[in-house]
Structure formats: structure tokens, C-alpha cells
Structure 1
Amino acid sequence: MALNRYHNVTKYDSRNKILSSGIECIFISHQQRDKDAAKKIADYLLGAGIDVYFDAYDGDLKIHHQSNNAKAVTDSIRKGINNSSHMLVLVSPNTLYSTWVPFEIGYGYDKTDLFVLCLKGIPKGGLPEYVRSATIIRDIYDLNNLVSRISKIDKEILLETKMMSDYGSPTNPLSSVMDTLINDRY
């Protein structure tokens, strides 16, 4: 069963320890205005058996934000990234106004396998330049492929066991926040 890594008792101080333990965990980077979409994506990944670090469940981080303790916020983010093997940066028009997403990308760039997930309606060429060097996840189809690759479970098995939903399904829980399939190259 997948979990939010914030709740894990064991905390690692380096990615090497995470990788040597075989743990696969995705740090979800997002702008606060996209928190609802980020939660849907975090829940989708958890349902597919992949651990996540999603800040909405990090009580310490909430307290640090509320008290405007930038050093403690930075330390919490660093711990989350250090306990992750991958980073998924959610991009929407809101991302351009984020003060923390660029920091998270900069800190995690060499520490995680970096992926950029486009939320619904990001036009071709609409990504900020600082994320264009990462692997782009344009739609639910791409995300399902990533889930299969990270979980090391065949996509068909994930679909049959309902651990993830077909990209074209009208009941896919991500259809309100992501495009289903985009055929043109980014």
C-alpha cells in the first residue's frame, strides 16, 4: 500500500539512501492555487501503489508557512525532496507566480528524476523555460505510462486491477485537471 512519505517514520538525508533501499517516491511540486489538482494527482499515484510526498499532509510545513519561517519551510521542502526518488512539477498558468516551485526544481534537479506535468489547457509552447529541459507529461496517457514505468507494473495490469484508470475513460479522476491525449509533439 502506498503512502505519503511525510508520514513515514524513517527519514533519509540523501537520495542515495532512498535509491539503495529501492523506495520509489514522487515529490509533487505545485503552486498553492493548484492544490486541488495536485491532490487529485497525488491520490491517483497513491491508488496506483506509488508513494508520494505531498505538502498538504506535512503538518510541520503548514506551521512554518503560517509563521512565515522561510528557513524552516526550506528545510521541510529539502527533507521532502531528499526522501523522494522522482519529482513531478505541476505546471499551470499559476506556476508563473510561484515563489517556491523554482526553488524546488533547482534543489531537486540533480537529486531526483524530474518530470513536468501539464495541467489542463497548457498550450503548446506555454511552459516556462526553466522546466523545458525535463521530461514533459502532457496528458493522462503519458502519466499512465510514467506510473507503469515507476511502479514496474505492466500498464494493462494496473488498468485491469483498477489501480489506475484508462486515459479515455469519462470516469478518470484526472479528466477535470489534465488533458486525456494530445497527439502533437510539444
Structure 2
Amino acid sequence: MAGINRFYYPTKYQSRTQVVSLGIKCVFISYQKKDRDAAIKVAEYLQGAGIDVYIDVYDTELKLQHQNDNPKEVTNAICNGINNSSHMLVLVSPDTLYSTWVPFEIGYGYDKTDLGVLCLKGIPKGKLPEYVRTATIVRDIYDLNELVERLSGKKKEILLETKMMSDYGSSLNPLSGVMDSLISDKY
């Protein structure tokens, strides 16, 4: 069963405690707007593995508040997305350093979610911003597949066999143009 974008889920939880007590697993995707296409691919990959996500590109309320230049309601929409998520995956590229919202999202979600940092192509060892180095680092597709296995609660072999996940070394992996396949040196 494929995961959903939780923005479309009819129930929006007003309380962080409620989300935690119900054991809801959802990954908030944080990214810089120049990395939008990569963020969508990562979200679709997670959803294909049966993991729910929140990604703002489908949040019509957030878009409306951006268009209306209403920073208070933009902030509220982002906070609601984080509050309804158990995990946060911050996509990091060279452009992330110029983001105004990613540091806010990390700060707001730091003690509310299980924080992970996903490196897009072009992030050399030692170049992650200091404010994300305390989180779990997902350096490559291999690491992402390990995360998918943990979040889904399904064995990697089953996820691969049922095509809910692609092998990290496959040229057909939908993330091969977005992330490195395998980086052997640790961050």
C-alpha cells in the first residue's frame, strides 16, 4: 500500500501529543525552493514504500498564504505540517545555505520530530551546515533505503521484491539523478 501526502488526509491533528499517542508516522520534507523537483522525487519514493509524507507543494493553504504575503499564516501552516509529522527529512544541497525557511523548520521541528538530513548530489564530505550535523545523516540512496526499512517496518528484501523500493545501485532507481548511490566514507 502506498503512502499518502498527509496534507490530503482528512484529519488534521491540533495537538502534537495526539499525533505521538496515536503512533502516526509521517515524514515532513524540508527543502529549499530551488530543490523542489528533488523534494518531490524523494517524497514520491517514500510514498511508494508506504510511508506517509508532508510536502508543502500540495498544501493549498500554504500556497494561498504565500500569495497573500501573510508570513504569520505561512508559519502556522508549516508548524501544522511539522506538528502532524513524526519525522523530518531535511534535503541539503548547495542552495540550502541560502534558504530562509529551512533553518526555521529545523529549529521548530528539532525536538518534535526524529530529524534526518538527506544529502543531494553535490554535497562533499564536511560541507554540511553546522546546524544540521547533529541529526542522522542520509548521505546516499543506500542510507535512504535503510531509513525506509526502519520507517516502514518491512524488510529491505521484501520492499525490493515488491518494487516498493529500488536497489541503490540500479540505474533505474528514480533517485539516481538526485542522490549518490553509495558513498563509502562516513560523513
TM superposition score category, shorter chain reference: over 0.9
Distance 1:121 1:95 in 2: 12
Distance 1:125 1:177 in 2: 19
Is 1:129 matched with 2:130?
yes
2:171 paired residue number? 170
| Deviation sequence 1:130-186 (CA, Å, 0-9, x none) | 000000000000000000001101111000000000000000000000000000011
- Say what the alpha-carbon RMSD is for the aligned residues: 0.7
Distance 1:24 1:119 in 2: 23
TM-score, structure 1 normalization = 0.98
The answer to whether the 8 A contact 2:94-2:122 is kept is no
3-state SS of the aligned residue for 2:179?
coil
Distance 2:169 2:19 in 1: 34
3-state SS of the aligned residue for 1:115?
strand
Deviation beyond 3 Å, 4+ runs, structure 1:
none
- My pick for the range that moved more, 72-81 or 61-70, is 61-70
Distance 2:105 2:175 in 1: 24
1:16 paired residue number? 17
Is 1:97 matched with 2:98?
yes
Offset, 1:19: 2.3
1:64 paired residue number? 65
| Deviation sequence 1:59-106 (CA, Å, 0-9, x none) | 011111111110000000000000000000000011001000000000
Provide the aligned length of Structure 1 versus Structure 2: 186
Distance 2:15 2:175 in 1: 32
Quick one: which amino acid aligns to residue 67 of structure 1?
N
- My pick for the range that moved more, 29-38 or 16-25, is 16-25
The answer to whether the 8 A contact 2:141-2:180 is kept is yes
Quick one: which amino acid aligns to residue 41 of structure 1?
V
Offset, 1:16: 2.6
Distance 1:134 1:32 in 2: 21
3-state SS of the aligned residue for 2:95?
helix
Give aligned-pair identity as a percent. 71
Offset, 1:15: 3.1
Quick one: which amino acid aligns to residue 87 of structure 1?
M
Distance 2:52 2:112 in 1: 17
Structure 2: unaligned runs, 5 residues or longer? none
| Deviation sequence 1:32-84 (CA, Å, 0-9, x none) | 00000000000000000000000000001111111111000000000000000
2:115 paired residue number? 114
The answer to whether the 8 A contact 2:92-2:117 is kept is yes
Distance 2:151 2:21 in 1: 15
1:7 paired residue number? 8
Is 1:84 matched with 2:85?
yes
2:162 paired residue number? 161
Distance 1:152 1:13 in 2: 27
Quick one: which amino acid aligns to residue 8 of structure 2?
H
Distance 1:78 1:26 in 2: 13
